[in-house]
């Protein structure tokens, strides 16, 4: 009777260890899938950010010259005129 209890305990321990290893393996697979997809997302976001920065930089270089000309012409070209709401006092 003592031998059977000892044998049953050993079998139960072996079964528990096997079940635990199986569950750990499933957990690692799920963890790898989730972490892998997060890695892909971060790479995708990084790529989109780089593309947006590249577009902004090219737009800046393309429009800088014309905007500087418009700004300088607005500041430097002075044409004095009377304001339309001005009422000369008599």
Alpha helices in the chain (DSSP H): 2-76
pLDDT digits (tens, 9 = 90+) for 78-90: 888 899 999 888 6
Confidence of residue 77 (pLDDT cuts 50, 70, 90): confident
Token digits for 48? 């989109």
Which of the listed ranges 1-5, 35-39, 53-57 does the model predict with the highest average pLDDT? 53-57
Return mean pLDDT, the chain.
90
The radius of gyration of the chain from alpha carbons, rounded to an integer in Å, stands at 38
Burial class for 78, CB neighbours closer than 10 Å (0-12, 13-18, 19+): exposed
Residue 35: per-residue pLDDT:
75
């Amino acid at each position: 009777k003592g031998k059977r209890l000892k044998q049953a305990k050993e079998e139960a321990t072996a079964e528990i260890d096997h079940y635990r290893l199986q569950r750990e393996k499933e957990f690692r697979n799920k963890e790898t899938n989730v972490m892998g997809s997060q890695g892909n997302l971060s790479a995708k976001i990084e790529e989109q950010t780089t593309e947006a920065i590249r577009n902004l930089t090219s737009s800046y270089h393309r429009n800088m010259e014309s905007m500087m000309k418009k700004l300088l012409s607005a500041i430097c070209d002075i044409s004095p005129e009377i304001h339309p709401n001005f009422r000369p006092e008599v």
